[in-house]
Every structure is written in C-alpha cells, then in structure tokens.
Amino acid sequence: MNNLAPATLLLLLIATACAALAHVLLGRRWRQLPIFWLVAVVGCLIAYGLNIHFPLNLPNPAGVPVLESVLLAWVLLIFVSRLRV
C-alpha cells in the first residue's frame, strides 16, 4: 500500500472535514460536494505552502498550521458557496 506523508494525510483529513461540514451547512446540491472538497484542499494547501502562521503559540502537527488551514479553507468555502454553482 502506498504510504502518505503525515502532512499530506493531515491536510486531506482537514479538507475533507471542512468540505463535508460546509456541504451540510451551505450546500444545496450533491454536485457541490466535490467542488467544496477541491476548494477546501486548495485553501489548506495555500496555508501550508505559504507557511501562514498567526502569532500564537499553537502546535503544528507534521508542520501543518491547523488553525490557519481550517480558517483559509472556510473563507474559500464561504466564497464559493455564494457563487451560483
């Protein structure tokens, strides 16, 4: 079986949880779910790739800024949910 790096697995789990919750709260159609998932992945990757950190002393498991990833994913999810997709 192909092993994933811990950071990759954590980013995918965060994105999946955010996308699922966004679809429950903001979604109208089933076709929005893959769009929400892609947007959440992009938000998490941007936060991870740009190494965005708040000036707080929070743990970063596997080097992933969890709070920042979740917040950026939600900002993008709310933006996309307002589009007529």
pLDDT digits (tens, 9 = 90+) for 49-74: 999 888 888 889 999 999 999 999 99
pLDDT at 1 over 80: no
Choice among 10-19, 36-45, 55-64 with the minimum mean pLDDT: 55-64
Give the chain's mean pLDDT: 91
Give the DSSP letter of residue 55.
S
- Rounded distance, CA 7 to CA 29, Å? 31
- Rounded distance, CA 53 to CA 80, Å? 24
- pLDDT over 90 percentage in the chain: 67
- Rounded distance, CA 10 to CA 62, Å? 8
